Amino acid sequence: MNTNHSDHTGIGSVSETDPGVVVFARQLGVDVSYELLDLALTHRSYAYEHGGLPHNERLEFLGDSILGQAVTVMLYRDFPHLDEGQLAKRRASLVSTIALAEVARSIGLGERIKLGKGEDQTGGRDKASILADTMEAVIGATYLSAGPDAATALVLRLVNPLLENPERFGAAMDPKTSLQEAAAAIGAPAPVYEIASSGPDHNRRFVATVTVGTAVTATGSGTSKKHAEMAAALEAWSRISAGTP
């Protein structure tokens, strides 16, 4: 692949590019077009506030497919003892909004996303759905810039930590059950969830707060009550497992 970014971005030189995009590209360790990476980081709320700029949803669509294929092939190859149903469950966990948001947080993706003011002020940089969608867009940008092999390698590098921690992998598959079990193990009461929502009906956002007695309180967000509660449960489970309130 061409490593001269000025050729395939049309921006003339690295110095004219958003420095944050350049730093993030180097962090990813792939030869990704700065222009495409910038697009991958552009949320529709930012695009709308800036006169209808292009945003990352088409790249997200592409990245979702690349992610699914990479994870499916890896699971089939590396886990020959699992049957179809078990493989499907693991794939669903690894490509879930919660798992992708966790991956995004691990590389500091939230601080790189271009968000509209309203979305930014309501905690958009840590919303699981925004993080997951942007992560898929980054994968799509990598595929278009560096090709399928580089995109697959990026996916596997990002999701492998989930596989290396079996307990967390199980928690990501069913975080609410895992949290309930963790609460019982430390003698805490059952988790209690509260839900708040905002935005118009066609773009409703949900924020869940889960409290486990005096042990931990955590929040999570998503495009549905279920996703928000799952995100909050995984965060609470992580804190209990780490021994942090």
- Residues forming the active site: 64, 136
Helix pair 128-146, 148-164: axis angle to 10 deg: 140
Tell whether residue 136 is among the known ligand binding residues.
yes
Tokens of 90: 């693991």
Tell whether residue 102 is among the known ligand binding residues.
no
Tell whether residue 174 is among the known ligand binding residues.
no
Residues annotated as binding site?
Answer: 60, 133, 136
Binding site residue list for Mg(2+): 60, 133, 136
